[in-house]
Each structure stands twice: as C-alpha cells, then as structure tokens.
Amino acid sequence: MTDFTAPLRPFVGQAAANALAAQLGIATVGALLRHYPRRYAERGKLTDLSKLELGEHVTVLARVQSASERYMLARKGKVAEVVITSGGRTLTLTFFNARGIVRRLKVGTVGLFAGKVTEFRGNLQLTHPAMILFGGDQEDSDIDEVDEFAGSLLPIYSATTKLPSWKIARCVRQVLDMMDEPEDPVPMEILAERGLPGLGQALRGIHLPDRDLDWRCARERLVWDEALAVQLALSRRRLAARRRPAPACPPVPGGLSDAFDARLPFTLTKGQREVGEVITRDLAGNHPMNRLVQGDVGAGKTVVALRAMLRVVDAGRQAAMLAPTEVLAAQHARTLRELLGPLGRAGELDGAQSATRVCLLTGSLGAKARKQALLDVVSGAVGIVVGTHALIQDRVEFADLGLVVVDEQHRFGVEQRDALRGRDGERTPHLLVMTATPIPRTVAMTVYGDLEVSALRELPAGRSPVATTVVPVGEKPAWLQRAWNRLREEVAKGHQAFVVCPRIGGDVGGAAADEDVPAESGQPDDDRRPPLGVLDVAPMLAEGPLAGLRLGVLHGKLPADDKDAVMRAFTVGELDVLVATTVIEVGVDVPNATAIVIMDADRFGLSALHQLRGRVGRGGVAGVCLLVTEAPAGTSTRERLDAVAATTDGFELARRDLELRREGDVLGATQSGRRSGLRLLSLLRDEQTITDAREVAWRLVAGDPALRLHPGLAAMVADIVDAGRAEFLEKT
C-alpha cells in the first residue's frame, strides 16, 4: 500500500525530487498527485507540416529555424515570431508579450508544439502553442518522450521555467506507474450511490486521461472529496459546539424584553418576528446557539440583536455586542440606548424599574472611564456591553456573559469570535452573528458551515429604493459638476450626504495602511494614478463645488474622540456633508442622509459599493447614489459598476462578486500559489456537490464524531485542517 505521505524519492529521480521541492514545495507522493493539471492541451496526432489545416488542433514535432521579436505598431508590447521547420516546410509560432520566449526557443531547439492552426497574412501559424522542448536547455530529456505524448490529452500543470509542465507530467506518470492501488478513504457505498470512480482511477483519470470523459469523471470524484473533507471538518465543529453547555436564558414574561416590544415605535417585519422566535427558542436551551442572521443593508438587524440581548438580560445575564470599528461600536451604543429609552437607564432618575445599562467599551477609552466600565461589567451592573476588538483583546471579565453578538461578521474571523466565547471557562455563551453581506448559499454552508443560518428577507416598510447612477467622468466630464449640483439640491432640501473616497490621502500613508479601507480597493497592481483621498478631496470640495456647505471629514486614523464628535455632529444634522473613507461602509445609520457620491468607485468591490449605498435611503425619502469613475465604457471595470447600478438585490451582487473575485480567495487559497487543501472545489459550480457532501458529512459525524470507523476520512479532514489550510475556516 503506498502511503500518500511517503517521500517522492524512490519514485522519481533525485534531481526531479529536488526540483519539485524547490520549485513547487512538493515533497510527498500525495502532494504531487494532488498537483492536478490546470488544463489539458488537446492534441491531434503528430502532424506533417504540409498537411496542416486551418482551424485544426495540431501537435507538431519540429525544429526552431529562426526566432525574432519586435515591438508591435498597433498595440502595446512585443510580438515574437518563431519559425519552426519539419520536412522542409515551415510554420510560424506567434507569441505576444511572452517574456524570454526567444531565449527559450533557440535556433535548433526541437520541441512539440500544440495548438490551433490560424492564418495571418496568408501564413499558417500557431498562437501561444503548448510546447514541450527537447534538447537545448532540457538536455536531460530525450527524443523518446515524443511517443509517450502523441495522440493523447496533454496535461498542462502549473509549472515554473525551471520545472516545465512536461517534467511534472513525467514525475506524476512515474509515481502512478510504480504506486500500488491507493486505499480509498471514502466508503464504497457512498461512491457507488453517486457513480463516482475509486481514488486510484480518479488520480489516473485526472493526470493521464485518454479522453475528456476520463478527467471529467475523475474531477467529479476529487471535487467531491474536497467538499466532503470541508463539510466533515465543519460538521465536527458544529457538533462539538452543540454539545457544550451554555447558559440557558428562558423567556421571562413581563420582563425587559416584553416591555421593550411594547414601546417599539414601529411594527416588526415578518422576518424580524420569525427570527426573533427562533432566537428565543435557541437562547432558552442548554446548548449554545450558533446563529448567523443575514439581512440586507437596512433590514433592521439591530433590533433583532437587541431583542435577543434583552432576553439574556431578563435571565439575569449579560450580553456583549462586537462591532468592527469604533465608529460603529459608538453608533450601536447610541442606537441601543435610544431604542431602550428609560429601559436602558438603570440607576438614573428616569430609569424604568426593570431597566438595564448599556456600556461602550473601546480601545480608546480614557484610563479612568475604562476602569469604571470594567468594574461595571464585572459587577454585573451593566447588562449590555458594546465594543470593538478591544473587548476581545483585553481581558474583560464579565459577571455572567450569556450572549455574544457579532455585527457585520465579514470583518471578524472565527478565531476572534471564539476568543471572546472561550472566556467563560466551562460554559459557552450563545452566539449571534449578523451580516449584511448577502451570502450565497454555498458560501454560507462552507465558510459559515458551523452556524445555523436565518435570513431577514424583506426590508421594513416605507423604504425607498436607492437610484444608482454611474458618472463616467472620462466620457462625460460635465456629469461630475452635475453630481455636485445634485448633492447640493439634497442639502437644500434639508437632507445630508456622503462623499466617499478610497483613501485617507494627505500625509497619512497609502490605502494599505488604512485599517478601514478594504483590501479590494486601491490595489497597487496597476499604473493608474493613486486613488483619491479624503484629505485631498475635502478641501477641494470646500473651496469649489460644495463651497458654503458644512463639511465634515471622517476616516479611521482620526483620534477616537474626533471620530465620535464628527459622527455625532453629522447624526444631529450639524454637518451637511460627510467626506469619508469606507469607515462608514458598515452599519452607519443616519436616516436623513439621502445622497452618496463614491469617488473612484471602480476601486471598490461590489459588496463594498452595495454596503456604501445602503447608507442612504434609510428614512422615508428616496436615496441617490452616484458612482464616479474614470473607467472607460466597455471595460470589465465599468461592467461591474453597471451591475451595481442595475440591481439593488444584494444577493445577486454577492453572486457577481464571487464570480469576479477569484473564488480561491473565498476559500482561503491565496493567489501567490500557496497550496490550500482545496484545489478543485468551486463554490459556484459545485453547489450541488457541497449540499450533498454536507448531508453525508453530518450523518457520518453524528454517529462517529472522531471518525474512528473511517480513518481515511479522518486523515482527509486533518489534511484540510492542517498546516494553516483551514484558513477558510478562520478567515471570513
């Protein structure tokens, strides 16, 4: 039985083993066999150059006759033309901007070139052919290789210049040839039910397919393995979490919670009511709730959270609410106090009989205030604690923590929320996670697989949609002035507005340094001008198009007191326009704000744009969102913005976002090529597989949490969870 953790050495030569380790970090049989081909070059038979036909897929064995490179006239960059010859005939290979190609294809080099025959100015050519070179640099190869490849699908691996694809293919072949049939970790019945091939067959199929069907079948099986491993890991997590004891918080008739409902100024939506009932049931239990509530921007999640917290306070325990930024934490504390009214003013003159207290705990609290706050928390005088990460990082002692609410989950990792929950020694507080990022079902099942998911589907009545318009300043420079005029109109009507920029600007470093700017904005991967900064735009507006209006500036680098003061001034209407970074992206709730202008909108991700526009139209008045961009029409960048303008459906946008971003990012595999346990699984494409695997995983784990009966599966899970490969579990 060949062990997948076995070193490569007896299977491949020392030089190859060294190269695999050095170039790709591949050291074991398993790692090599899991290095799947990126694609397959379809190859015809070895072709006589005189018989090439236009449009045909061909593979030719030929010798390089000449190679030259020149700058193109019509476009940017260089084109390399390599003429290959065989039997007196020639064929041109064309490469655009392919660095080092002329150096690699030295005159006299023999190689296999595979591609589709096209015509250019009367000459047949192959553009960017797949190739295997013999001789020249690759002296250790020999011409016999040709037989092995001719007529089959040519697997193309991610490779490096020092370790070309065909060398990897050869190593894989050697391992597959010498290896015993591997033991299949997945029980036979499961495979049989789904008509999936065994592991050995799948590995051969994906690396050495004869036909397309071979690798397709193989892929299906291997994708299933990945989905199963992920779901097993999550199921175990979920099961373990469920079994922990938790502080039960049964409803208390006539308590704070009921009093609160009685004084609510609005009727709860159906969703708010239903989710509330589910949460009430969860909280009453002896095992911890692990619930994710997703609801689009403005769906009214705060009230849902507050009602849950009041249940806990009624039971004589405390609730903690975590927000991703200080601005948001401060706002939450304010909102909660407002919503509670006298019910939140225990100990004050007008406090209600059964009242509790809300306390704000952030990193920037003064030493004295902080000490008092901590005392109030540990003594139990405070029922609801609102805070930022500081809550987690410093050792805050609670008298009796019953519930942790995490707002805007996408800014928190599992680790962080667990850090707070882990505190309470034996008992695990209940957990309520709230996110406005609409999560496609598969992502929810994968990234948040250990949580139960509820959704708030409708928005509270009386919401007016936000009209979104792209302002293409490249083509229509006059539109920018119109945008500012539009904003002035809103202010003239007594409303307020946001202007958002991707950077802080001024002297305060680049985007990367801004804690409140999402990674997807201001990527340094291009030669565009630096993104606009708040500190540069605000004075321009003040002196120019927005002269005379009351402008405020808000960004993550401001001292907390200033942030708070600005936010408060804006909330109470002392400012007309807030020029801000994405620090306002999540949760900021100022119903009188009706317009938002997003500068350099193309520098933001779709979800961020959707979140940002959710800052307006929160009162009864229709909102307007203007996406200012220099991106030219017809580019994919513009398409993204058009997509945001075209739909207000957060779910649809999240799906688009997932398609546009590399999915790997969602699953934690990095673009740098660092290997994660997941290679094939796609959250979009493999939705059915993931659903299926989730059911199977739950069944397997429920009866056998440690997977003792299935050591192979246990190893598969370990492989996924191991060595930082569980990033997708930790990072959300």
Footprint on this chain of Mg ion (rule: CB under 5 A): 587
CB of 652 to ligand ADP, least distance (A): 18
Q: Are strands 154-156 and 290-295 parallel, antiparallel or unpaired?
A: unpaired
Closer residue to ligand ADP (CB): 384 or 697: 384
Q: 501: which 2 tokens?
A: 């920029």
Name which of residues 599 to 618 contact ligand ADP (CB under 6 A). Answer: 618
Residue 308 sits in the site that holds ligand ADP (CB under 6 A): no
Closer residue to ligand ADP (CB): 229 or 336: 336
Residue 324 sits in the site that holds ligand ADP (CB under 6 A): no
Which H helix or E strand runs over 452?
Answer: strand 452-456
Contact in structure between 138 and 129 (CB atoms under 8 Å) = no
Closer residue to Mg ion (CB): 501 or 588: 588
Q: Choose among ligand ADP, Mg ion, none what residue 268 binds, the Cβ cut-off being 5 to 8 Å by kind.
A: ligand ADP
Classify the phi-psi angles of 480: left when phi > 0, otherwise alpha if psi is within -120 to 50, otherwise beta: alpha
Q: Choose among Mg ion, ligand ADP, none what residue 266 binds, the Cβ cut-off being 5 to 8 Å by kind.
A: ligand ADP
Residue 266 sits in the site that holds ligand ADP (CB under 6 A): yes
CB of 596 to ligand ADP, least distance (A): 15
The residue sitting closest to ligand ADP, measured at its beta carbon, is 300
Closer residue to ligand ADP (CB): 413 or 591: 591
Q: CA quadruple 590, 595, 596, 602: dihedral positive or negative?
A: positive
Contact in structure between 308 and 405 (CB atoms under 8 Å) = yes
Span from 116-124, 317-325, 586-594, 711-719 in contact with ligand ADP (CB under 6 A): 586-594
Which H helix or E strand runs over 407?
Answer: strand 401-407
CB of 587 to Mg ion, least distance (A): 4
Residue 303 sits in the site that holds ligand ADP (CB under 6 A): yes
Q: Choose among Mg ion, ligand ADP, none what residue 21 binds, the Cβ cut-off being 5 to 8 Å by kind.
A: none
CB of 380 to ligand ADP, least distance (A): 27
Name which of residues 210 to 249 contact ligand ADP (CB under 6 A). Answer: none
Closer residue to ligand ADP (CB): 302 or 521: 302
> Which residue stretches of 269-413 are H helix?
270-284, 301-314, 326-340, 367-379, 390-393
Chosen residue from 129, 502, 587, 650 binding ligand ADP by CB under 6 A: 587
CB of 117 to Mg ion, least distance (A): 58
List of residues 6+ apart from 394 with CB closer than 8 A: none
Task: Point out which residues pair with 41 in neighbouring strands.
Answer: 154
CB of 364 to ligand ADP, least distance (A): 23
Q: Choose among ligand ADP, Mg ion, none what residue 356 binds, the Cβ cut-off being 5 to 8 Å by kind.
A: none
Contact in structure between 304 and 274 (CB atoms under 8 Å) = no
Span from 179-187, 250-258, 293-301, 647-655 in contact with ligand ADP (CB under 6 A): 293-301
Q: Choose among Mg ion, ligand ADP, none what residue 437 binds, the Cβ cut-off being 5 to 8 Å by kind.
A: none
Taking the C-alpha atoms of residue 262 and residue 511, their distance in angstroms, rounded to an integer, is 46
Closer residue to ligand ADP (CB): 91 or 275: 275
Q: Binding marks (x or -) toward ligand ADP, 454..493, rule CB under 6 A?
A: ------x---------------------------------
Chosen residue from 86, 141, 231, 302 binding ligand ADP by CB under 6 A: 302
Of 92, 87, 86, nearest to 123 (Cα)? 92
Q: Binding marks (x or -) toward ligand ADP, 415..444, rule CB under 6 A?
A: ---------------------x--------
Whole-angstrom CA distances from 53 to 44, 50, 85, 117, 127 are 12, 9, 16, 7, 15
Span from 202-210, 296-304, 340-348, 696-704 in contact with ligand ADP (CB under 6 A): 296-304
CB of 345 to ligand ADP, least distance (A): 19
Contact in structure between 12 and 174 (CB atoms under 8 Å) = yes
Span from 142-150, 173-181, 224-232, 291-299 in contact with ligand ADP (CB under 6 A): 291-299
CB of 607 to Mg ion, least distance (A): 15
Q: 651: which 2 tokens?
A: 């779910």
Closer residue to ligand ADP (CB): 229 or 586: 586
Residue 537 sits in the site that holds ligand ADP (CB under 6 A): no
Residue 43 sits in the site that holds ligand ADP (CB under 6 A): no
Residue 8 sits in the site that holds ligand ADP (CB under 6 A): no
Q: Choose among Mg ion, ligand ADP, none what residue 378 binds, the Cβ cut-off being 5 to 8 Å by kind.
A: none
Which residue spans within 135-223 are E strands per DSSP? 154-156
Task: Point out which residues pair with 577 in neighbouring strands.
Answer: 497, 551
Closer residue to ligand ADP (CB): 235 or 272: 272
Contact in structure between 82 and 92 (CB atoms under 8 Å) = yes
Residue 44 sits in the site that holds ligand ADP (CB under 6 A): no
End-to-end distance of the chain based on CA atoms, in angstroms? 38
Residue 386 sits in the site that holds ligand ADP (CB under 6 A): no
- Tell me which residue has tokens 């159906």: 270
Contact in structure between 118 and 125 (CB atoms under 8 Å) = yes
List of residues 6+ apart from 216 with CB closer than 8 A: none
Taking the C-alpha atoms of residue 498 and residue 367, their distance in angstroms, rounded to an integer, is 33
Q: Choose among ligand ADP, Mg ion, none what residue 257 binds, the Cβ cut-off being 5 to 8 Å by kind.
A: none
Closer residue to Mg ion (CB): 62 or 292: 292
Taking the C-alpha atoms of residue 31 and residue 517, their distance in angstroms, rounded to an integer, is 37
Residue 301 sits in the site that holds ligand ADP (CB under 6 A): yes
Count Cα neighbours of 485 within 13 Å in the Cβ-side half-sphere: 5
The residue count of the chain comes to 732
Chosen residue from 47, 94, 269, 290 binding ligand ADP by CB under 6 A: 269
Q: 53: which 2 tokens?
A: 């036909």
Residue 650 sits in the site that holds ligand ADP (CB under 6 A): no
- 3-class state of residue 445 by DSSP: helix
Q: Choose among ligand ADP, Mg ion, none what residue 460 binds, the Cβ cut-off being 5 to 8 Å by kind.
A: ligand ADP
Closer residue to ligand ADP (CB): 12 or 500: 500
Span from 110-118, 496-504, 508-516, 584-592 in contact with ligand ADP (CB under 6 A): 584-592
Burial grade of 464 (CB within 10 A; 0-12, 13-18, 19 or more) = middle
Which H helix or E strand runs over 714?
Answer: helix 711-721
Chosen residue from 129, 247, 288, 295 binding ligand ADP by CB under 6 A: 295
CB of 589 to ligand ADP, least distance (A): 4
Residue 297 sits in the site that holds ligand ADP (CB under 6 A): yes
- Tell me which residue has tokens 């952030």: 362
The residue sitting closest to Mg ion, measured at its beta carbon, is 587
Q: How far is CA 652 from the centre of its chain?
A: 15
# residues near ligand ADP by CB under 6 A: 19
Burial grade of 687 (CB within 10 A; 0-12, 13-18, 19 or more) = middle
Which residue spans within 478-564 are E strands per DSSP? 496-500, 551-554
Identity of the residue numbered 367:
A
Taking the C-alpha atoms of residue 91 and residue 58, their distance in angstroms, rounded to an integer, is 12
Burial grade of 312 (CB within 10 A; 0-12, 13-18, 19 or more) = buried
Residue 585 sits in the site that holds ligand ADP (CB under 6 A): no
Closer residue to ligand ADP (CB): 267 or 286: 267
Taking the C-alpha atoms of residue 8 and residue 523, their distance in angstroms, rounded to an integer, is 39
Backbone angles phi, psi at 17, to 5 degrees: -60, -45
Contact in structure between 511 and 531 (CB atoms under 8 Å) = yes
Which residues of the chain form contacts with ligand ADP (CB under 6 A)?
266-269, 272, 295, 297-303, 436, 460, 587, 589, 591, 618
